[in-house]
Amino acid sequence: MTFKIAILFLFLFVSTFCIAQRPPSDIIKTDKGDLIIQPILHGTIVFQWNNKTIYIDPYGGAAAFAGIAKPDIIFITDIHGDHLNEKTLNELQLNNTKIVAPQAVADKLPAKFKQDLIVLNNNESIRRMGILFKAIPMYNLPISPDAKHTKGRGNGYLLEMGGKRIYISGDTEDIPEMRKLERIDVAFVCMNLPYTMDTHQAASAVLQFQPKIVYPYHYRGKPEMSDTESFKKLVNNKNSSIDVRLRNWYPEYE
């Protein structure tokens, strides 16, 4: 077996393994076709809609995206390495890919990624490729200059496509801006103190803004603070109509 053939077999094996370990995708009906939601890893999500592919906080290297189309748009929420991951960005094919990020992330991006950069800060919005996206604040409480996530630095995102409203919390605590959200069809809500929220805080926020579907994500850490089964019970004991979808965001290829 030649070296090139061996490398090809290795690539195919790794790609197949990654796909096998990846959580199953979900399909949401929209006014303009299906929205495919693919959990990837930790805080990383892929959306496919209307012939467009969107990556949220790409992390895990190219292997995490084996078999998935290259991104048309990438959203980055914060400067930390599990959100702004240069290794993964370097491994992906990003020609003609738009990157949407707050200024703090833009300041840290290498020059080669800035050609198609869209800077979007808290409460700003823009429409591209038939999608309206708005930057939602994400931060720790109490507000403090030495907080792990300071107010104004990072973005959660609200995406509107095909008549559906999708909220990605980013790394946040139970902040007023999240509680005031309305008409959310799908929400991705983080957990895990001391960086974001515990299960009780996350459940309380979700019960306030009442998304139709919620995925707990970004929950790696102390088990008692990131127990997704407990989160589901806390939500559904008070509101059984909220569809709490538990997925494995930490497959073996991490």
What tens digit of pLDDT does each residue of 223-254 get?
Answer: 766 789 999 999 999 999 999 999 999 876 44
Q: What is the pLDDT of residue 5?
A: 44
pTM, entire model: 0.91
Task: Express as a percent the part of the chain with pLDDT over 70.
Answer: 89
Residue spans of the chain under pLDDT 70: 1-20, 222, 224-225, 252-254
Q: What is the CATH number of the domain that holds 159?
A: 3.60.15.10
Q: What is d(CA 162, CA 117) in angstroms, rounded to the nearest whole number?
A: 24
The verdict on residue 237 lying in a domain is yes
Sort residue 76 into left (φ over 0), alpha (ψ -120 to 50) or beta.
beta
In this structure, is residue 17 part of a structural domain?
Answer: no
3, part of any domain: no
Element (H, E) at 205: helix 199-209
Using H for helix, E for strand and C for coil, what is the string for 145-172?
CCCCCCCCCEEEEEEEECCEEEEECCCC
Residue 153 lies in a domain: yes
Give the model's pLDDT for residue 9. Answer: 37
Give bridge partners of residue 38 from the DSSP assignment. Answer: 46
Q: Residue 159 sits in which domain range?
A: 24-244
- d(C-alpha 96, C-alpha 117), whole Å: 10
Flag whether 107 is in a domain.
yes
What is d(CA 65, CA 18) in angstroms, rounded to the nearest whole number? Answer: 8
pLDDT of residue 21: 77
Residue 118 lies in a domain: yes
Q: Is the peptide bond before 142 cis (omega within 30 degrees of 0)?
A: yes
Phi then psi for residue 157, to 5 deg, are -135, 145
Domains in the chain, number? 1
106 located within any domain: yes
- Residue 82 in any domain: the answer is yes
